[in-house]
Each structure stands twice: as structure tokens, then as C-alpha cells.
Structure 1
């Protein structure tokens, strides 16, 4: 970085690109105090701030690599920035400061991406994004009836910025990236034409700055900073992971899938722990050990499946129900987060209470990794699981490390991922066991081998349907998360909103061109169409799994590339076509590696797909063989079973891609 002293100010740049500029009339820093209000209701948050002070730090004095800021000449220094390599460290000299606003240089035109996993808007320019891990909400669109109903009945409607996985990191079309090292609630505000403003509800440790000649290099730098996943397990390439929660009948249904020609790599049964029945319906029993009343002789059945090349997967989260046998063990050892009185803090999950395992207590984290995941899951035979609920840390509990739960809430998913990864590593199964998470924060990349897109609605809606999964994959992929997938058919069915056969088939088409195919029966299985209940849907799904398996050699090469370079499997078009600015805002199509372009149908009733092909060569339509020049917006036929997919004419995988026409 370069610090240049200007008349009555300064400019900080990296590789010739301005990042911070400061003059008294246009300061880059504001500090002050705020009194926040945070209300949590089952993973959803209502957050507001009463700003007591917001003062511009107009005066800056530079001494070597230090910049001391005050409100005016002659007044006390309130904040000091220290430049260390490509980092800018923050130190408050005024202990009353609990709010910082930093303004970074913006240019026109400039596009901005990142922010963790953003489901509604891939290009973040022009909008404000609070960064706080939470339930993303139902519908996520305040103008819709379903979001209104969710807000009224359960405070769970959500908005465009709500996400399970926020991260205070962004990239811009100037080929720079900014990461704010903080765990506090923060906000990215990209609405101003002249600057990007970062709001932090604490004094951050530092701001890290990155620059590169290309987007590929920039993504590689970020993947080194945040961590890289191992390659996908070899068993995954065998087909789809079939999600069923039907007790021992799940095995019978699995055989029907296979008889229909479905390629299967795994059977995923959330209900392997058994069920409890509430007024809300059947819920999982949160005690994380096999329930052999619901799944008789499960241990041996897992062995039999594995002999046939099919792995068994389950479910776990970081809570323990009070009426299960693990709860008294954890409570006696002091492994739970506590309340104000020092007693075990209990969280109501709807007619049953749970304790929060305190992962800031090393003994509790080790116990959960070894006794719960290690012995009850890995030693029992599970090859993977959904590691759920990382975003649910209550903000009023007391933790062993003494840090305010409001500051531990955001990094909690990373601690949860670390516990899971430690258990896997203890058995020497890293790279073979596959757990997947929806929650994340800075550093989750180093521990979680696979993201899943969370709980989309079972529909084609703009802010909570199929199309949002693509935006989530692209935004998180730029930050070092190489692998992303989703619940085929969506998950959330409320207020009469149920799956259609068309939705399942279109979702399956997209999933065939993602790192992992996995189905889910949804939150209300009996109310919704399932893949094995409709012969047409089942046959279509079988074909999509055959496509997925056919592409396994290509996917393996992308997995190897991810491990070596940090490049995600699903990539925004601009990653390889950065000279083509028309690609910078596309979020409903993606590159699958560098050689395939995938544009799923994401609107109901459509059988054609319009899309833009990037400049820089010719593209071949997979199903017809028709060739197109890049740099054009085209429309192609996309009937069920033939999503809009193209390959680069110059690819080394031509014969493999041409083979898709024969399936």
C-alpha cells in the first residue's frame, strides 16, 4: 500500500488504486455511540439502533505509518489507524466509541459483490446490506402476501438482505477486495455514488485490503486468506443424495428410486434420531444418537448400503433437548451457555426446551466433537450430515470466554463448523465425510466442506425461490467457498404454498450442474409432492442424476482445481470474461467451471430461456449442437429435461459434453 500526503489530507492506495481519501471537508472516518435494540425470535431478529453520537473525524495527523484522528485540531485523539503491509489496524483512544463508519473510495461505474451468501442481489451496488447471521426469512419480499403472513404469525418474513451466512468482505470491479475483521454487527452501504460506507457496531481489529490484476487472482487470494475446502469425496460422484425421513420405510422407497434408474450416492435421513410430536407437527428429537425404534438395526443397514456403494447421512445441530440422555451429562459438566443467574440457559423451540452447547469452552467443544459426532455418528457409520442451526446463538446468554454474546453471534457458525471438522479429522476422514451447513461467517471456509443454500420457499419466487440459489452460490463462491448446493424442490411450505411437479423438475435440472445433488422432502412432506410420487417427476429426476454422473470426470477436475486455486465450481460469468462488462450483473446464469455455461429455467411455465453469452469465442448448445457467437443475447428452447446449457467450442471436454445428447 502507498500512503500519499495531500494538501490538508491523505490518500491511501494499493497497487495504484485509491482506497481511502481524507480531507477535513470530506473525512473518511466517523465515530460515535449507539444504543442498539436486538430482539430475537427463533432465529429471526428485529434490530434497531439509536445513534447517540456520529462525529466526523475531520483532523488527521500522520506520523510514519500511523494516522491519528480527532474531531478538530488541538482536540484529543479518538482513533488511530496503523498501516501494516496490506492491513490497516484500528485502535481507539476514546473508550466510549462503540460505532465506527468508514468511507472507502467508490468509482462510477463500479460493481460490488460478496457480503457472504447473498440470495437476492449478486451485484450489491445501490443497496444497503446489514451483516448479521440469522434465519433468512420466508418470502424475503415485504411486498408479497406470504412474507406479510410470515411476519404477522411468526416474525419470520425476512427481507432481501437477510442471510444465514453474512461476511464483511466485498470485491469490486476495480479488482480490489476489502475485508473488515470484526465479529460485531456491521453494515455495507453501497448506495452513494462517491463512496462505500462500512458501519461497524464496535471498533474493528483491522481492515484488510487486496488487489490483483485479474478476478481469478483476486479470488485465489481470498481463498488463501479464509481457507480452502478439501476435494469432494469420491463417493459423491456416484449420483444424488436422496433425502427421506420416513423411518425404516426410507429404505424401501430408496429401492424404488434405484429401480427407476436414479443414480444414488447417499441416503440422507434427518429423522435418524427419531421424532417428537408437537402441535406444529412432527419434529426431530434433538439428542443426536440413532433411534432404532424408528430405524431398526440401522447400524447394519448402513453397512449393507455402503457395501452397495451408498453412504448414509444424518442430521445434527448444536442444541440438546432437556428430555434427552445427553442433556444431564452436558449440564453436569458445565458445557452449556448460562443465563444471568448462572444457570443453564434454555431456549424454547416450540413445545420443547434445549440447552446451548458453549463452544467457547474448549472442553465442551471437545466433548461434542468426540462423544456426540465422533462416537454417536462417525463411529456408528454416518458418512455425512446436515450441520444445522449455526445462526441461532441467543444474544442474551453468558459464555465461557466472557465475550458478549452479541459479539459471538456472528462467528458462532465458524465455531460450529470447527467442531464438526475436528470430529471428522479425529477419525482421519477429512475428504471422505461430507457435512453441509447453511450458516457461515468469516473463516467458515477453512472448516466446512460444503454449503447449502438454506430454506428456500417451494416456488419460483424472485426473492425466495429457485433463482436465489444461484446468487447464493456465486456470492459465497467469490469468498473461498468452492462448493454450494440446495434442497431440490425447496424446503419451506407455508400458507398453502406447495410444490409443483414443474418446480421439482426445474430444480433438479439446475442441481445436475452443481457440485452435489441432494433432495429434501421439505418441512411438510405430507402436504407436498415428493419425487417418488409422480412417475414423470421420478423419470425426469433419474435422467438428471444420469447427467450428473456423466459429468463426474469434469466435476472431479473442478474439485481438483478448487483445492489448488480456490476457484469455486459455480462461477460468475465475469470471472473468466472480465473484459465483458455485460456479464457483471448476471445472477441467473453461471459458469460451471470455465467450460460450461448453465442458465436454468427459473420462472413457472416457461419453455424457452433468454440469456447472454459472453464475448470471447463461440458457444455450443449442448442439446442441439447449434453454435452461437459470444457477445449476444439469445433465446433457446428449454423444454423439461433440456435446460439451457452451453459449452465452449475450444474446450478439452468436447466429447464428454457431446455425450450428454445420448442420455
Structure 2
């Protein structure tokens, strides 16, 4: 190949090499192509995808995979072929720091890209990953789905969930995938595609990206430090709407007990709990199934279950407490909204042209087709706007964004397999549009578990999904930390989880210990919210045990005490896109010992939180990053950075430290119980 001068776009440089080309970003080689070591492969595959209630069985038969060894470069454009004299099959072009791709062979529907790796490199991202923060050494398919029960193929609960309903899951299953990763080499790479893709970080010499389509482009970002990378990515994907001020007054208490929910809320307050909201997802009524009590998916108030609800909401508001509900993008066939939507043509179709019906476990639903602008407008205005916001709701769980069936026919004409990943973003847009139409952005709060590239700009709060009600490594309390840290690296500033977990199956039920340890962690997150779970009658609730309730009340007071600090973090999120919960390495980029830590985190720049996440433990060991000294909140003792601290962690006193040089010392020393008081 003839040498030419390097072509530069900002920090990205496409450099000609004797036998290929390199792509450098701020001097870092992120691609290297040569005839004997090609970085690009194309081919054809025949996928098999089966969906069962949000869980997917996916496999691919690779018909062809061809190395594109021959590169022909003209200016800033490269055409690649299998060999000299053969027809080029792929064209790429550097534009504005991104590599744009164009398939020259219409038969190509698979692309593989190899990115050089270093032996000691760490990699993070991939959306919201629940099992591993550092992705190195593992393979991660990126497809929004139910995360599965247990998420560990060696555990009994996962095995039983697989047998009972193909719902066991694995370490890589997530509601919120995103084809973006950050490297400890201080660059980030994003694949702009809606298709199924895979990040494979198992090889010591390269990372391999697999896409079941020719992606639109590969985007590359670099910064001097990790905070700069996160800020850049947040600007790229969109900043989250601000966290409402009212939320910081206390916990959002989740009760689904009909009118009795108000009585129970009063008792929880009398126990000394700070409460900012009452969340009744059963505001729409219930149906009973073998899984447990399920909501009636017809999005209007059930005033039989909640008599005089509109007035009760107004009374709560006068007391300084907001009311929240629940909604998802499906309509049950036996509800009032389904015939209205079907008559207007707002529902997705099946292969025969009839309304597509989805079995959600003993009841069927229609899929509101958000690729139809009229359907999206109707749902935003008539359902969320009139039935929820105008009724008095200040927030809701916006559930089930990952459930788009892959065999439905959409108004846009786009294959549902290509709409499946971005579907949560459309769902978030509908919710955000409704909130904006009432002038309530930054006041009304909806939270989602599903996501994909771009959800950041619309969804004000993520939640970690349906963890098991236990301490398990891959589906318990500790996974909520990993989910917050991984998603936070991609511009999701606000994350929280169900206190006590959600999924209770096969005799797995909450313990007082689990509820108390989960509440301790939640006090140091952007939002404290409880959930009664899928089987409320079989599981302990926060008001079901005096000791648990007293402990919960204390943790809500700790959360509310930190509101001034949380407001500064909200301001920082708005200005820079930095998450509230942060991986340790964000502020300590030169301390390699922080790169793989995922069971402790920074709450903003000044607090380090190491929750107890294993049953039966009352002592916590936590690594404190080097370069600063740390003060143990509850005893006031000073601990040096760059070493492990071992502290007592009885109930009510999780391992929490603040930087000795913080400007927030007075606030932290005033925490209830701080300094041994």
C-alpha cells in the first residue's frame, strides 16, 4: 500500500501503514489492520431467536466469516476486500472522530471488529451490568431482556427457574444493554447500532465486537482522565432530567394494599420514618395468577380498590407527601383502553395483519406501537397525561420496556428485531413527553429498568430491576451496586433499587437481616424506595417487624440528612453528567487497585460506602483509595488511604467513610449516630 499523510479529525487520526492502516485517538492506537492480522471480518449468519415472557433463547449459525485482509485507502476512505483483485465488501470513512461503515456487499449481515488490547487493561460499560463491573475476561451479548431469576447457572434457584419457565438467566442478561465501553487506556468506544451485538473481552491481545448488521458507525472518545470520559459520554448520550427536590425529603414507601396502604403509611411515619412519597403500583387494581398478585394492566385509577383516591392524593400532597403509581406500554384485552387503542390502529400487528397478542402469564395484552406517532401521542396525552398526571400522580414505575416481541409488525415497517433494543428509548420518550406537556420535568419522577443508547436523555431515574430477595452473588443486594456503577459510567446519574429485592420464588423469602442491610445501602443512593415484592403476603415488609421498622426509620433520617450534599451532586450531574454513585477509579485513576472493585462505591466525591452484602457478617473490610486519608463516620477514627480498613458494621452502621479533606465535614459529622453518638 502506498503511504499517504495521516488524516486527522480532532483527536482521531487515520494513519496509513505499509500493509494496512491504523486508527489513533490522542496517540492511542485503537485499531490496527494488516494483511496478516486483519481487524475487520464480515459474513452472513442465520439467527434463531425465541422469546418467552421477556426471556430469550438466542443462537447464531454463521454461514460465512471472511477476513478482510486487503485494504485500499484513498484519502480518508478505506475499502476492504478478502484479497487483492477481489471485489471490496466494506467501506469505512473517518468523519468527526467516528468510523462510518458502508456494506458494499448486500449479502453481508454480520461484522466483527478487533480492537487491540493490553495484558493489564481493564474495561467497563456495556450498559447496566449486574454481575461484573470489570468486563475483561468475559463475553457480553447486548440485548435487552428480562435478566432472569438467580442469574447463576450453578445455583438451585436458577435451575428451578429454568425448568419452571425458562427464566433462569445468566451473568450477562440485563434489562439495559448498551454497546459502549470504557478502557483503562482512557478512551471509550461506542457502536452506533440497534442490532444484537456482542462485546467479547476474553482474548489477551484484542477485544472483539460482533454486530448482527453493518453498524452505522464506531464512535471514539478520549480524555485525560476517567471523569472527563464520563462527562464526554454523558454529553453524547444526553443528560438525565434533574432529580426532583421533594424526593430528598425521605423514602418513597411502596405499598400495594388498597385503601389500607394509607393506614400503614401513617404507622410507618409514627415510627419516625422520613417519607417523601407513597408508591401504590396497585392503583390500577389487581388480578391473581400463579406467580402472585399481578396488576390490572388498564391504566386508570381503580376507585373500588382505592375509594376516593383523587382526594386522598390531594390530602397527601398537603402533608408534603407525593403519590406514585405504575404503568407499562401494554394493554390487557379485558380492560377499557384496549378496544379504544385497537379501534384507532394503535396496536402492533401479527403476521396475518390482526392485532398481536402477548401472553404475560395467564392474561393477554396488546402492544402499543410507538413507531406510530399517533399512538405515541395518544399514550402520552390520554393515558399518562390525563389518567395519571392530571389525576394527581407525581411519579410512577415505567415498566417492561424490554418486552417488545420480535415477531410483531410495526407501523414504521422496521423489523421488530431491529426495534427491540431501542424500544426502551421510545418508551422513555413517551413518558418524558407526557411529563413535559404538563410542565413537570424535574418535578414528576418516573423510573425504568430497561434502557439502551440514548435513554439517558429522557429517563430521570433507573432502577436495578427484579433482584432476588436474598444475598446471592449474581441476583442479590450486591448486584444493585454493580448496576449503578456500570450504568453511571455511561451518563446515567441516578440509580436505585427495590429495598429488600423483588423476586420471591421456590420458598426464597426475605429475612429481617436482608431488609435492614438493603436499607443501609439505599440510604446512600439517590433515591430510597421500598417494594413489597411479587409475593407480599409471604415476605417480611418494613412495617412487619418492630426492629426492622425502627432500623428503616433511622436510615431514612440519614438519607434526609444528606439532602444538601445530594443537591450538590444533582447540580454536578446537570453540569457534567457525573453519576451520584461512582466507581472508585473515577476519582482515583492512578490507583489500579480500584479498577475492579464493585462492592463499594463513592457517593459523590467525598463519601465511600461499603455495604454489608453477605449474610451473617457484622465486620466489613474495604479498600480505601490512596492519596487521601479517610474518616470512619460512626467512630471518627482516621484511616490511611492505599490500604484496607476493617471496621465493625452492626445494623444501622454500614461501613461509610468520608475524605479527611472534604468541605462537607460538618454535614457528615452531623449524621445521626456519627462519631459514636
- TM bucket normalised to smaller: over 0.9
* CA shift for structure 1 position 662: 4.1
Partners of 2:294 and 2:240 lie apart in 1 by 32
> Residue 64 of structure 2 corresponds to which residue in structure 1?
53
Report which stretch shifted further, 278-287 or 268-277. 278-287
> Structure 1 residue aligned with 2:387, among 356, 376, 383?
376
> Is 1:614 equivalent to 2:625 in the alignment?
yes
Tell me what 1:556 maps to. 567
Correspondence for 2:18: 7
- CA deviations on 1:65-122 (whole Å, 9 max, x unpaired) are 1010000000001000010021100000000000000111211210000000000000
How far, CA to CA, are the matches of 2:672 and 2:434 in structure 1? 43
| Residue 621 of structure 2 corresponds to residue 644 of structure 1 | no
SS in 2 for 1:660: coil
Indicate whether 1:491 and 2:502 are aligned. yes
The reply on whether 1:162 has 2:168 as its aligned counterpart is: no
Deviations 1:599-648 (A, max 9, x none): 00000000000110000110000000000110001211000100000000
| 1:85 corresponding residue in structure 2 | 96
Q: Does 1:202 align with 2:213?
A: yes
The Cα offsets for residues 97-148 of structure 1, whole Å up to 9 and x where unpaired, read as 0000011121121000000000000000000000000000000000000000
Q: Deviations over 1:568-611 (max 9, x none)?
A: 00000000000100000000000000000000000000000011
Check conservation: 1:265, 1:309, Cα contact below 8 A. yes
* Counterpart for residue 327 of structure 1: 338
The alignment status of 1:436 with 2:447, answered yes or no, reads: yes
> How big is the shift at 1:3?
1.5
Contact 2:241 2:459 (8 Å CA) reproduced: no
Equivalences for 1:389-538 in 2 at 5 Å? 389-538=400-549
| Aligned-partner SS, 2:157 | helix
* Aligned 1:289-328 pairs, distance under 5 A: 289-328=300-339
Which aligned pairs between 1:228-239 and structure 2 lie closer than 5 A? Answer: 228-239=239-250
How much does 1:278 deviate?
A: 3.0
Query: Greater CA deviation, 228-237 or 275-284?
Result: 275-284
Alignment match, 1:186: 197
Give the counterpart of 1:244 among 255, 276, 282: 255
- How much has 1:510 moved relative to structure 2? 0.1
Q: CA deviation at 1:276?
A: 1.6
Q: Name the SS for the 1:472 alignment partner.
A: helix
Query: Residue 351 of structure 1 aligns with which residue?
Result: 362
Number of residue pairs matched by the alignment: 663
Q: Distance in 1 between matches of 2:138 and 2:155?
A: 20
Shift of 1:277: 2.5
Paired residue secondary structure (1:579): coil
Show CA shifts across 1:410-457 (max 9, x none).
000000000000000000000000000000000000000000000000
Tell me the distance in 1 between the aligned counterparts of 2:167 and 2:673. 46
1:120 maps to what in 2? 131
What are the within-5 Å matches in structure 2 for residues 37-48 of structure 1? 37-48=48-59
- Indicate if the aligned counterparts of 2:558 and 2:672 stay in contact, CA closer than 8 A: no
Cα distance in 2, alignment partners of residues 183 and 390 from structure 1: 15
Is this contact kept in 1: 2:634–2:673, CA < 8 A? no
2:352 aligned to which of 341, 344, 348: 341
Contact between 1:622 and 1:661, CA under 8 Å: does it hold in 2?
Answer: no
For the pair 1:138 / 2:153, whether they are aligned, the reply is no
SS at match of 2:596: coil
Following the alignment from structure 2 to structure 1, what is the Cα–Cα distance between the partners of residues 111 and 18? 25
For the residues of structure 2 that align with 1:488 and 1:661, how far apart are their CA atoms?
21
Q: TM-score with structure 2 length normalisation?
A: 0.97
Partners of 1:31 and 1:54 within 8 A in 2: yes
**1:245 CA displacement:** 0.2
CA distance in structure 1 between the partners assigned to 2:628 and 2:602 by the alignment? 14
SS for the counterpart of 2:118 is coil
Asked if 1:101 corresponds to 2:128, the answer is no
Secondary structure in 1 aligned to 2:210?
A: strand
Say whether 1:151 aligns with 2:167: no
Structure 2 regions of 5+ residues with no counterpart? 1-11
Sort the Cα spacing of 1:27 and 1:418 in 2 relative to 1 into closer, same or farther, 3 A: same
1:661 Cα offset (Å): 4.5
Whole-angstrom distance in 2 between the partners of 1:351 and 1:127: 37
CA distance in 1, matches of 2:426, 2:461: 15
Cα distance in 2, alignment partners of residues 473 and 419 from structure 1:
24
Residue matched to 2:6: none
Q: CA RMSD in A?
A: 0.7
| Cα pair 1:620 1:648 within 8 Å, conserved | yes
What SS does the corresponding residue of 2:267 show, helix, strand or coil?
Answer: helix
SS in 1 for 2:354: coil
- What SS class does the counterpart of residue 21 from structure 1 fall into? strand
Distance change >3 Å, CA 634–CA 279, structure 1 → 2: closer
- Provide the C-alpha distance between the structure 2 equivalents of 1:608 and 1:198, rounded to a whole number of angstroms: 41
> What's the offset of the Cα at 1:231?
2.0
Aligned equivalents of 1:579, 1:368: Cα separation in 2? 49
- Residue of 598, 618, 622 corresponding to 2:609: 598
User: Whole-Å Cα distance in 1 between the matches of residues 452 and 360 of structure 2?
Assistant: 23
